[in-house]
Amino acid sequence: MAEATGSGIGPGSQAPRDRKRDTQMVLFGVATVLLVWFALINLQDVEIHFWLHTTRAPLVLVVVITAVLGGGLAALILRRRQRSTNAQP
């Protein structure tokens, strides 16, 4: 059988590794595991003080909502940085 050469396809050929992306994925995985562990060991209800309102909620819910909002904010910041970097000549 003929093998494709230089195309990265076929036996024995591998795509080049992106170490930065691999490191980011590992760190994201570790952070996720730590967040889940923290949330699961803190199941008690806590008081949440807003500006004019106070309520009670399970701490796990507070942690999850905070993580989602933080992740969304980080994604928006990274997206804005990429746009400004790509827009410059």
Residue 57 lies in a domain: yes
Residue 54: which pLDDT band, with cuts at 50, 70 and 90?
A: very high
1, two tokens = 């059988």
57, two tokens = 């909620």
Total of domains in the chain: 1
In this predicted structure, what is the pLDDT of residue 35? Answer: 80
Residue 53 pLDDT > 80: yes
Cα–Cα distance for residue pair 27/34, rounded to 1 Å: 11
In this predicted structure, what is the pLDDT of residue 23? Answer: 92
Residue 11 lies in a domain: no
pLDDT digits (tens, 9 = 90+) for 11-38: 655 666 788 889 989 999 998 899 888 8
For the entire predicted model, the pTM comes to: 0.55
Residue 10 lies in a domain: no
